[in-house]
Amino acid sequence: MMTLAYIVENLSILEADHLSEAALGTKIVSITADSRQVVPGSLFIAVCGGKTDGRLFVPEAIERGCVAVVMEGRHWAGECRVPLVFTEDSHAAVSEIAACWHGYPAEQLCLVGITGTNGKTTTSWLIESMLTAAGFRPGVIGTVNYRYCDRKGIVHVIQDAPLTTPDPLALQSLFRRMVDEGVTHVIMEVSSHALAQKRLGRTCFDVALFTNLSHDHLDYHRSMETYFAAKQRLFQKHLKATGSAVVVKDVISGDTDWSEEMCRAVPANSLIRCGLSKKDCQVSADKVVQTVDGFHCQLDLKGAQVEFFSRLSGGYNVLNVLAAAGVGLGLGIPPEQICDGLMRVERIPGRLERVCLPGVLSGAGPTIFVDYAHTPDALDNVLRTLQPLTTRRLICVFGCGGDRDRSKRPQMGSIAVQYANVTIITSDNPRSEQPEAIIDEIVPGAAQGGRPHCSVAALFDPANPEDGYTVFVDRRTAIATACSLAQSGDTVLIAGKGHENYQILGTVKQYFDDRQEAINGLLRWNRHHLLAATEGVVIADSKAGIFENISIDSRTLRTGDVFVALKGESFDGHHYIDAAVQAGAAAVVAEQAPVECTSGVLYIQVRDSLQALGQLAAYRRQLLKGSLKVAAITGSSGKTTVKELVAAIFNEALLPVRCGVDPLLKTKGNFNNLVGLPLSLLPAEAGHRLAVLEMGMNAPGEIAQLTKIADPDIGCINNVHPAHLLGLGDLHGVAAAKGELFTGMRTDAVRVVNCDDPLVRSLADRAKGKQIGFAASAAGRRYNPLVRSTRQVNLGEQGMRFTLHIGSWKRRITVSLHGSHNVSNCLAAAAVGHAAGIGSETIAHALINHAPAGDKRLAIAELPGGLKVVNDAYNANPASMAAGLHTVASFGAQCRRVAALGDMLELGPSSERLHADIGSLVAQLGYDRLLLTGSFAGAVADAARKGGMNTENIQIFPSPQAMADAVWRMLAEGALGKGDWLLIKGSRGMRMEQLFDELLHRITAPA
């Protein structure tokens, strides 16, 4: 354990001559400059900060258990019961103490420091790639995050960056961790604030890079000269004597050539100049050709000529590449490895980052860029870069941050309108300022730039657009407007926030990502999207630019929505078109338009409005293809349970994801048909990562249509049982209808196969593409499924226990689902999760923690008095009815069990036989009472009697409510009571939940 004496002896900046040997022998367990983080045994460093003075918190630190204090000013000492160590510079002291505490880790690393107003982050990513290509293991400390490459070549993100350059304690801790993980080089963005505040301590760099200097941070530095002096400290105080100084030339801001000033400040023998001029630069570029997809050039690396291509756009990115190459030369990396590494970089987060709809080919629609440009010089650079690359119009969305240098606001407004045809002025991070007040300081600069203030309609008029600027205080609306209304050939620049995934309003930091909002803007329904999706015909046009959501209900429709008029068996949405328009619909999709179309509303005529609804959902899904992974679940029984289990697994995997919305999209309720599935899929947006959709059907061809709409990446047929036989004929008809999922999926999609079900295996044999099998039975395991269960134990009402196997991985788990059929459902969900790339431990954890919803699917409730009810009234077919009976038969001990059953509907000519099978099973399982209702109650009753059940214990009722009378009497007479079980089950159309509701009402009603 380190002692106070060790720290004092190693740091001349500390004064401790007055301390006794005993005091110097004090053992230190931790160091901190935050009194709130003090623990018993801490050394507290009282830093004199700009906003507060750490010395004010010394009493609190001592109270918390600190054993020694480092501070400025002996006159502050007073009476103190712990040793005091004095220093003349607490900022320098905290940096040097941190380095000492961690064993001077920086000395074991090759360090590259980057400073400058713009280009630091881009250059750091380029250098990282170059070092990796050269065989090194780099770490990066910068504006986006703190990360490192381990010994296996895997990149670990330690954390998103709260500061470009961390505080001294965090910095030395990062160095220590990187050394321990085998990092060889660290690339560090060094801010002017960090240099002025001496966060680096005595840390020195092998290579220091100066990118440029332009107007920024003058609220802190007050003048460009002071700003430059802070940057200069990197070269004068923190560059090793043997180190290299890399300076980017050809960037002049204002009246002073700051790059030349920096060149004069460093020794000539350590200087590497980078720029476009071969005359005085050792690293330069010639024959530069730029496009929106990148640039070609010929690099000159100290005489070595290399043909080069980069996917980074912009003249300033040419300079960033030259800067990174200069660093490579400074580190002694061969030119071939330098270029190889630099050419590997395809994108840098938030630095002229191209944003496209994942499912749209490059070149279609407008070209969208997100950039961190938040200074006048950076905005000028990026707009000047994009202007000659734009074939039609250049559109700029930007704002200025609150509580920051106000003088740059009108400058940026002037720059934007100088280069952009359309400028949309909006909010950035307002912080404590009012967004409107910030915009009011930008607008005068825009007005002086020669462009008029225009309406959105005038700026984006398809026939005769005007050039000018407009204002949207809400940044989301501003981005959506620009991206949705821009046309093919337009370039949209969204500037100011770049990689940031937050917006600060007052003191609240909320999620906001320009890149995500740009994609959502491209997704917004507009005239082009509606026509492309539906292939409809415009009956009446409108000047409305963008629309909100798709709606089929005029009662819940919101202003700006698109109303799709559906025709049903008992309704016709076309009768409600006028009501929808009055409620605010901005567009209507229908098979026929009304006699009189409302002015200002877009009317699109389609051949089939139900088909159009599906086309709209399918179109949306294709636009997001590649970023949204879709799993589709179908089967005769258990598909809703599997869907919920998959959702639980997906949710577990998505816990670390921050995207401003729930990243999981799933079917809600029973929205699983040709109306429900499209409505489930239509809300998809950029923040969604995974979707799980349930597919139901009543007739052949419906699953095929749903598969075409959803285009699933993963498809699961859970099982094939007798169900919907009225429309499908027999079991083979059911199989064929369910099999439409496998046959309709892409060949690169994954089919999840129930190896316990011979019909599903047969469907899989006929399908192409990758497959993942699952099995709970010994017979199914013979087919070597990847996912399987063994050692299954029924715990009754406590759930099921089994060993889950996924490949060679296995774990013993207990789930709160009941019955062996639910083990199979768990395996199906696990297979879907594995197909989605989710780890086995995550899958197991989700299954263990999944709590079944009380939604009439084997939902257990205990009534007053102690009767336990299993409400499984959601739906029924022969397989699910048998599963429910088997499950409840395993519950309890020395208790009475009652089955209250309704008909299983849509079983066609086999109905009587299949109902009789249920009656036989009730008798076989030893149920004490059988209560029946429905057209086939007699068949069930006869079979139960033949199976040996006493006739007196079988009753038939006209309705579920009448059943409640009988159960109520049983309770009153003691024929049922505490610890006994009642199973309620039947097809959805039988409304068997009415039995439970009526019974509960009678028991709980006041006497």
Please choose, from the candidates 920, 991, 970, the residue with its C-alpha nearest in 3D space to the C-alpha of residue 982. Answer: 970
In whole angstroms, give the CA distance from residue 755 to residue 827.
11
| 481 labeled binding residue | no
In whole angstroms, give the CA distance from residue 8 to residue 3.
9
| 199 labeled binding residue | yes
| 669 labeled binding residue | no
Q: What angle do CA 434, 436, 441 make, to 5 degrees?
A: 105
As given in the structure block, the two tokens for residue 237 are 């105080």
In whole angstroms, give the CA distance from residue 806 to residue 788.
7
| 261 labeled binding residue | no
In whole angstroms, give the CA distance from residue 631 to residue 260.
59
| 121 labeled binding residue | yes
In whole angstroms, give the CA distance from residue 509 to residue 160.
14
Number of continuous H segments (helices) and E segments (strands) in the chain: 35, 44
Phi/psi at 657 (nearest 5 deg)?
Answer: -80, 125
| 638 labeled binding residue | yes
DSSP 333-351: --HHHHHHHHHT----TTS
| 464 labeled binding residue | no
| 685 labeled binding residue | no
| CB of 570 closer than 8 Å to CB of 587 | no
In whole angstroms, give the CA distance from residue 106 to residue 72.
26
Q: Identity (one letter) of the amino acid at 581? A: V
First-to-last alpha carbon distance for the chain, in angstroms, is 74
| 192 labeled binding residue | no
Look at strands 353-355 and 304-310 and give their pairing: unpaired
| 375 labeled binding residue | no
How far are the Cα atoms of 342, 378, 519 from residue 315, in angstroms, in the given order?
Answer: 16, 12, 26
DSSP 771-829: EEEEESSHHHHTT--SEEEEEEEE-GGG-EEEEEEETTEEEEEEES--SHHHHHHHHHH
Give the CA-trace dihedral at 54, 55, 56, 62, to 10 degrees: 100
Phi/psi at 718 (nearest 5 deg)?
Answer: -70, -40
| 116 labeled binding residue | yes
| 429 labeled binding residue | yes
| CB of 368 closer than 8 Å to CB of 356 | yes
Longest Cα–Cα distance in the chain: 108
In whole angstroms, give the CA distance from residue 550 to residue 872.
34
In whole angstroms, give the CA distance from residue 493 to residue 703.
42
| 431 labeled binding residue | yes
| 152 labeled binding residue | no
| 42 labeled binding residue | no
Where are any strands of DSSP class E within 382-513?
394-398, 422-425, 468-471, 491-495, 502-505, 508-511
In whole angstroms, give the CA distance from residue 248 to residue 208.
11
| CB of 383 closer than 8 Å to CB of 493 | yes
| 164 labeled binding residue | yes
In sequence order, what are the beta bridge partners of 284?
A: 275, 300
| 124 labeled binding residue | no
What 3-state class would DSSP assign to 140?
Answer: strand
Give the CA-trace dihedral at 630, 635, 640, 642, to 10 degrees: -70
The total of other beta-carbon atoms located within 10 Å of residue 431's CB is 17
List Cβ neighbours of 431 (8 Å cut-off, separation of 6 or more).
Answer: 401, 402, 403, 404, 504, 505, 506
In sequence order, what are the beta bridge partners of 423?
A: 396, 469
Phi/psi at 368 (nearest 5 deg)?
Answer: -115, 130
| 211 labeled binding residue | no
In sequence order, what are the beta bridge partners of 505?
A: 431, 508
| 951 labeled binding residue | no
| 165 labeled binding residue | yes
Element (H, E) at 602: strand 602-605
The total of other beta-carbon atoms located within 10 Å of residue 298's CB is 13
| 582 labeled binding residue | no
| 237 labeled binding residue | no
Annotated binding site for meso-2,6-diaminopimelate, which residues?
404, 428-431, 496, 500
Annotated binding site, which residues?
35, 116-122, 164-165, 191, 197, 199, 404, 428-431, 496, 500, 635-641
Annotated binding site for ATP, which residues?
116-122, 635-641
